[in-house]
Each structure stands twice: as C-alpha cells, then as structure tokens.
Amino acid sequence: MLLTSGQISMTISSCVVFIFTSLLFLSGYVLQQQTVRSLQAAIHPPPPPPPPPPNVSATVSANAQARIFGQPPGSNGHAAYQRYLGGIGTSVDWKKAAYVQIVTKHMLVCNAIMVFAELARQKSPARRVLLYPKRWDIESAENIIADQRLERTMRLIKVGAVRHGVTLAPIDPMLDGTEGDLLFIRIVAERVITDRRADDAEETYPICGLLSLTSFDQLLFMRPSGLIIDSSSLDAIFALRTNSTFTSFAGLSRDLAPMTLIKPSNRSFVDAMSFLRSNPNSESTYIRNTTHFVPAPSTSVPLVSQTFSLASAHEYFDATKFVSQAGYVQLSDPDIPGPEYNVPRSVFLKARPEQSEARRAWEELYETYRMRRMDVCGLDLEPIPIVEEVGVEHVIL
C-alpha cells in the first residue's frame, strides 16, 4: 500500500519530534546527574591532605643562604661571612623555631597580626608566637573596662590564633624595680604559664623575658612596625649556628636593630634578670653588651632594612627589586610617628627620600602597609596623636 504525501510528512514530523524529545530527555538526565554529584561532593567533601608534621627538618636552600651571606655557598665571600657568623646549618627543626612578637600597646596589635598573616600566606614553616598583657584577657572576660580599643584588640588577637596559626601567650609584667619575683614564661601544650606578681607596680615587659622560652631553640624578633616581603630569606636565618644570646641584623643604631635572633636558655635568662634587678631600666645596655651585631652583606637588596635608610640610596638604586626581594623592612622615619597614622600630606611629602627610585620604593612601602592593614585587620589609618602643650614641653597623649 502506497503512503500518501500527508502520511509521509506526518511520519517524518513524528520522527523529528521523537529524536529531539529523546535528546532533550538525555540532556536533562545528564544535567541532573551532574547536579546530584555536585551536591554529594558538597555534603561529603573529600578529606584534605594531611599537613606535614611541624617537627620535620627542612633544608635551607642555597638561594636563601645567598640572601644572608650575599654570595651563594661555595664562594669565597660566603665562606668568609660564614666564619664571621659562626657557621650555618642546612636544616632546621621547625617545631623549635618561631617568630615572636611582643605587644604591650593596642596600637601595635594589628602590626603583629599583619606580620603573622604574611608569614602564614607565604607558608613559612616556623611557628608564630604572640605575647601580650594577661590583664587584657581579664578585663575582656570580666568587662572591667568598656573600652573599644580593648574589644578591637581582642578581636584581632583571636583572628591571629584562628586564621594564622598563632600561639597566644598572655603574660604578667615584670616589676619596674628591684623587688618582687622575676618574669618567667614557659609554653606548655600550646598554653603559656606565667608567674604571678603584685598589681601595684608599673608594668614592664622586657625583651629579655624571651630568653625563658626554652622550649624553642631560636626566636626571631622583629621590631614594629614593618612589612615582611620575602619570608623564605628570613626562614634561612634560623639555620645560623651561633652561640650568641642575641644576634642582630642590620640597623644603623645598635640599640634599635629591626631584627634580632634570640637563643633562649635558662642560664641566659637568669643572668639577664639578675642584671635588670640590679640595674633597673637598663635592658638596652644589657642587650647591647650581649649582642652579636651582623653587618648587612654587600648585596643589591638587603635582607633587613629601614625606610629612613632610603634617604642615602645610591644613584643605581632599583625600587622594583627592593620592594619585591627585601626580607623585612621596618617603616621608621624621624618625622612620621608610625605607618599606622594618617599624617598630614605636607609631612608625608617632606619625609620622602630625594632620590627618585628611593622615593618610589618609600611611597610603595607605606601604601602597601596601609592596604595590608585594611585587608588583614579591617582598619584604616589612625588619626595622628593629639599634641598638647604643657609648659614648655609637648606631650603626645
């Protein structure tokens, strides 16, 4: 039987409709399965890879050593500098190496958290320890003082512990004088236990107190306020084999070196506290007399630097290289109270270096600090401290 043209058209149309309906069904089924798998993955995500154990010794690369010594291992310059320092190892027990910050003022808490945040971002294997007054914990828990600064401080401290793996170490102060017990700190199971002292003495938190952290082989202390640019070169410092209690890097002033490597020991701690008990307010003298000062190597980019040193930058100074390869830069200039403050534009412009490339690096460092402060702490620059005139003296409140 012959089919009419109408029947043929109907058959073709039916086939076309069937084919497209089938394709539509199949595509919907595929999308449905993909959605189901995505939901299953979201509800039951695969387990993350296990983190490396914190006490694994890691090799310090030749490039990192070259950053300290100015020349790579095997060169004459490296050998000479190595003998000067007392030697360098090739591995570090990272469980016993830590970056440490001491904050006793609310204004400096954000800077410490910024330092730790950058170390965490660059995956530094060293531990991170923050020491701060124990009374902040007490006042915050008991609501003794309704202080917005305290609330902000405790928020930032918690951010450091939760997000950046910081070990929090609330400490009691040392007495300012010759009476009372001595400061003693020890970290036990990620907690800090401190001696208790009288409450009627002026609070002091000496850097020498870090010598009591004998659970660590080495501590790297950086003076505020500053920026970490390249943590890998700073990590290499922990490989230094030095017998000195304090080893300070760079700095035009021996009393204000921006970075100090500290070797804790019970004997050094007792000696330091005995000296401070007999010589109150003389910690800088003790540190200066017991510090091994390391001059900066002759490299194009220093391992540790300060912004005021850019005023003497040579004509071949490379701003791009400096702001990308320096290890730690302390932002310290005579006419600026600190990078945390929003100084008048006229003061900011007057404080800049004259050399064009040094000026560009200087401005970029201050802008980077401002941006990191906002990103890490959620804080803008602070108003400049109010200066009141008292007689002939000026007091910064």
pLDDT tens for residues 279-326?
Answer: 877 888 888 888 887 765 555 567 788 888 888 888 888 888 888 878
- Average of per-residue pLDDT across 213-238: 89
In this predicted structure, the answer to whether residue 123 has a pLDDT above a threshold of 80 is: yes
Q: Which range (1-15, 144-158, 187-201, 333-347) has the least confidence?
A: 187-201
**pLDDT tens-digit map of 86-101:** 445 557 889 999 999 9
Region label for 165, one of left (φ > 0), alpha (ψ between -120 and 50) or beta (otherwise): left
Query: Is the model more confident about 229 or about 392?
Result: 229
Query: Over pLDDT 90: what percentage of the chain?
Result: 27
For the chain, the distance separating the N- and C-terminal CA atoms, rounded to the nearest angstrom, is 108
Tell whether omega for the bond before 225 is within 30 degrees of 0, i.e. cis.
Answer: yes
pLDDT at 11: 79
Contact (CB, 8 A) for 301 and 70: no
Which of 209, 211, 183 is CA-nearest to residue 197? Answer: 183
pLDDT at 124: 92
pLDDT at 301: 63
pLDDT at 286: 85
**pLDDT tens-digit map of 176-203:** 433 333 333 333 333 333 333 333 334 5
CA distance 370 to 393: 31
Q: How many CB atoms lie under 10 A from the CB of residue 327?
A: 26
Which of 100, 109, 101 is CA-nearest to residue 379? Answer: 109
Which band of pLDDT confidence, cut at 50, 70 and 90, is reported for residue 219? Answer: very high
pLDDT at 2: 61
Q: Where are the alpha helices (DSSP H) in 44-69?
A: 62-69
**pLDDT tens-digit map of 26-65:** 777 777 777 766 655 555 545 554 444 443 334 445 555 5
Q: In sequence order, which residues have a C-beta less than 8 Å from that of residue 171 and are 6 or more positions away?
A: 131, 132, 133, 134, 183, 185, 192, 194, 205, 209
Tell me which amino acid residue 331 is: L
- Average of per-residue pLDDT across 117-127: 93
In this predicted structure, the answer to whether residue 110 has a pLDDT above a threshold of 90 is: yes
Instruction: Name the range with the highest mean pLDDT among 66-70, 211-215, 368-372.
Output: 368-372
Burial of 27 (0-12, 13-18, 19+ CB in 10 A): exposed
DSSP three-state, residue 150:
helix
Q: Which range (119-128, 258-267, 279-288) has the least confidence?
A: 279-288
Structure tokens at 389: 């005139």
DSSP three-state, residue 104:
coil
Q: Which range (243-252, 314-323, 367-376) has the least confidence?
A: 243-252
Q: Where are the alpha helices (DSSP H) in the chain?
A: 5-43, 62-69, 76-85, 109-121, 134-142, 148-164, 231-235, 266-278, 283-289, 319-325, 345-351, 356-372
CA distance 136 to 131: 11
Q: What is the CA radius of gyration of the chain?
A: 29
pTM over 0.75: no
Pairing of strands 218-222, 259-262: antiparallel
DSSP state of 201: S
Which band of pLDDT confidence, cut at 50, 70 and 90, is reported for residue 171? Answer: confident
